A and B are shown apart, each in its own frame.
Chain A
Amino acid sequence: MDKYECIYLKENMSSVVGKMAASTRSQVLFLYRLLMKESSKFPSYNYRTYALRRVRDAFRANQNIEDPKTVQQLVKQGMDTLDIIRRQVGYTPTHRVHEGE
């Protein structure tokens, strides 16, 4: 997953969602895979397992939603979360905090 894929996804998401069920499905699955992939990059064990678990459970809880408007809204939320995860995964303090241990 690189930056261009993400931009592509962002540009296409709004136009695709709600048009065709099959393509919405593939977009949602794509978003799911992206979220899982990015979540697995958290260096901290607890954050990583939480993110993976939460993404999985959220998609599972909403898997039967049919209303295209709700789906679109949820996809938007997922995109925002993806942005947050990408930013926070990148934030890894590399400096030493506890000197002289």
Chain B
Amino acid sequence: MWSKTVTTKILGYMRGFPKQRMNYGQSVVSVVEREVIKSRELEKDELRPLYMDFQATTPMDPRVLDAMLPYQVNYYGNPHSRTHAYGWESESAMEKARKQVADLIAADPREIVFTSGATESNNMSIKGVARFYKAKKKHVITTQTEHKCVLDSCRVLEAEGFDITYLPVKTNGLVDLQLLEETIRPDTSLVSVMTVNNEIGVRQPVEEIGRICRSRNVFFHTDAAQAVGKIPVNVSEWKVDLMSISGHKIYGPKGVGALYVRRRPRVRMEPLQNGGGQERGLRSGTVPTPLAVGLGAACEIAQQELEYDHTRVSMLSKRLVQKIMSEIPDVVMNGDPNERYPGCINLSFAYVEGESLLMALKDVALSSGSACTSASLEPSYVLRAIGTDEDLAHSSIRFGIGRFSTEAEVDFTAEKCIQQVKRLREMSPLWEMVQEGIDLKSIKWTQH
């Protein structure tokens, strides 16, 4: 009798419908059903578009997730608890992560403040420094091509009575150093220039800016969210006083970032968030241990992989640009061709509407500019700032290449792009006119 029960159970299980489970009704998902769902999931995964938008965000590295997982479940202590082992283990994990972040940018661990992301880091440094020194210094300098969060923080300061200079950039996207030097006034408290631009990928001359700012006794903040972990970063060589770092741009988790705040010469700032006095009182609130650990792991891996990744990304980016440029005429690369991070390529396809090209390239996840502004059809303000013509600004697409991109993906993207640009141009009356030799600029467009 015993063996009979066991046999029926085994047989039932093998068929996928164990007898006792049947009694519970439909709420219990059988093994077979689960397998079906799993295979369907995988199938769906494979049908998703290729990811070519590594400037918007990056997938998490499996090594990062592996480091984080224990702190999501087993080691859940509050890192600021001083009275028990749960707190101590979380604290030591957090401090290890702080050191990993500091090592990547050649800083001291005590100079790293964990935040919720680069946006918070930028807000903190711009508003914090400007407000702390507002009694004597009322001027802040930034550039027109900064990220929205820097520009918006500056707008808020403007409303508070600060004087802000939005420096124009040259047509290659770089800051004019002479103009910067001339703009600095005795009452300038802060200069904020991003290291690598998120839309066109140009790398600003941070070393020179740092030198100018140090000699004029002005604090220098740089938004290095797109640079850290991708190009070598050294805060002492660059003479940077504040640096924003983002977790999810370097294959780490979303929702965490860091701010580097120099200790010598000391940068003083007013905190945005007040409370328990964590992070030296600059950013109160419990540090999310798993996220901080993830950021630390991402930084350590980025440091190990920097050279390997950079070689590979450069190779892939060259491959993509050459393939596209050799097949279709009238493609413009936005931004300086040499001073750039190769993983961010912004191309303008003349006589093609960027959004319709994006629609046609539905098999590839691409963007016409930054993710924050991708909802609006307005041309990118960065492209307008570097003096791109209205029509070219409307036809730009940003290709992002990263650690997990493959040759096959790049080739597919290039082929699709070539094919669709050719198709769209064939439909375009503008393209036809250009082929006939009519200069589009000479045409007077009248409204009917």
Interface residues in chain A, defined as those with a beta carbon under 8 Å from any beta carbon in chain B: 42-47, 49-51, 54, 57, 84-85, 87-88, 91-94, 96
Contacts and interface: CB of A to CB of B under 8 A. Distances in A.
A91 B63 CA distance: 12
B37 to A, nearest CB: 6
Interface in B53-79: 59, 62-63, 65-66
A94 B38 contact: yes
Contact of A46 (B37, B59, B308): B59
A43 B42 contact: yes
Given A46-B404, A50-B403, A50-B404, A85 B37 contact: no
Nearest to A91: B65
Chain A interface, DSSP helix/strand/loop, else mixed: helix
Given A45-B46, A46-B59, A46-B404, A84 B66 contact: yes
18 contacts: A43-B45, A44-B45, A46-B51, A46-B404, A46-B405, A47-B404, A49-B406, A50-B404, A57-B308, A84-B66, A85-B62, A87-B66, A88-B63, A93-B41, A94-B34, A94-B38, A94-B41, A96-B37
Chain B interface, DSSP helix/strand/loop, else mixed: helix
Contact of B66 (A43, A88, A93): A88
Query: What 3 pairs across the A-B complex have the smallest Cβ distances?
Result: A46-B404, A88-B62, A94-B38
Interface residues of B, number: 18
Nearest to A83: B66
A50 B404 CA distance: 6
Given A46-B51, A57-B308, A94 B37 contact: yes
Contacts of B37: 94, 96
A92 to B, nearest CB: 7
Contacts of A45: 46, 406
Given A45-B406, A84-B66, A94-B41, 4 more contacts: A49-B406, A50-B403, A88-B66, A91-B65
Nearest to B408: A49
A22 to B, nearest CB: 30
Contacts of A92: 38
A43 to B, nearest CB: 6
Contacts of B34: 94
A43 B403 CA distance: 17
Contacts of B405: 46
A63 B62 CA distance: 25
Given A94-B38, A96-B41, A46 B406 contact: yes
A88 B41 contact: no
A63 B69 CA distance: 33
Contacts of B59: 46-47
A74 to B, nearest CB: 13
Contacts of B403: 50
A91 B34 CA distance: 15
B63 A84 contact: yes
A47 B66 CA distance: 14
Interface in B17-55: 34, 37-38, 41-42, 45-46, 51
A49 B404 CA distance: 8
Contacts of A49: 404, 406
Contacts of A43: 42, 45
A98 B159 CA distance: 42
Contacts of B38: 92, 94
Contacts of B42: 43
A65 B59 CA distance: 33
Contacts of B65: 88, 91
Contacts of A88: 62-63, 65-66
B170 to A, nearest CB: 36
Contacts of A93: 41
B342 to A, nearest CB: 18
A93 B60 CA distance: 14
